[in-house]
């Protein structure tokens, strides 16, 4: 119960969708507190998707116009995102504008947490 309360206090909530029994009711987002065994088939499916998903994340990270368009409105309400965006602008956007040489190599370290959803029969 403590983890669910903490999740709600940190804004990790989702509303029940249209047509669901508790439509509009807020529930904590799904989470697990410890490692859980995963079916080998599900693991292999997630593993096969990880290359494409990492490629997508990498391409988005290199698209300044896209990032600024969607993160600037968020940064007005979220201090963490605002700090990250300021750092991003300093390293990439501003150095491009003032002609400063910037490093053209980058390292991406991605972490993806997968949650298995039960399938309907």
Average pLDDT of span 46-54? 87
Q: Specify the pairing of strand 26-28 against strand 13-15.
A: antiparallel
What's the confidence (pLDDT) of residue 100?
63
* C-alpha atoms less than 13 angstroms from C-alpha of 96 in its C-beta half-sphere: 8
Cβ(12)–Cβ(29) below 8 Å = yes
Closest CA relative to residue 101, chosen from 92, 111, 112: 92
Q: What confidence tens digit (pLDDT) does each residue in 75-118 have?
A: 999 888 999 999 888 877 666 566 666 666 777 777 777 766 66
Q: What is the pTM of this model?
A: 0.56
């Amino acid at each position: 119960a403590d983890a669910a309360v903490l999740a709600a206090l940190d804004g990790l909530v989702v509303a029940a969708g249209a047509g669901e029994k508790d439509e509009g009711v807020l529930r904590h987002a799904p989470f697990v507190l410890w490692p859980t065994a995963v079916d080998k088939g599900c693991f292999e499916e997630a593993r096969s998707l990880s290359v494409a998903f990492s490629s997508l994340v990498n391409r988005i990270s290199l698209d300044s116009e896209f990032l600024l368009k969607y993160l600037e409105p968020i940064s007005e309400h979220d201090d963490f995102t605002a700090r990250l965006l300021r750092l991003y602008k300093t390293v990439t956007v501003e150095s491009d504008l003032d002609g400063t040489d910037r490093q053209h190599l980058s390292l991406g370290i991605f972490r993806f947490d997968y949650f298995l959803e039960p399938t309907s029969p």
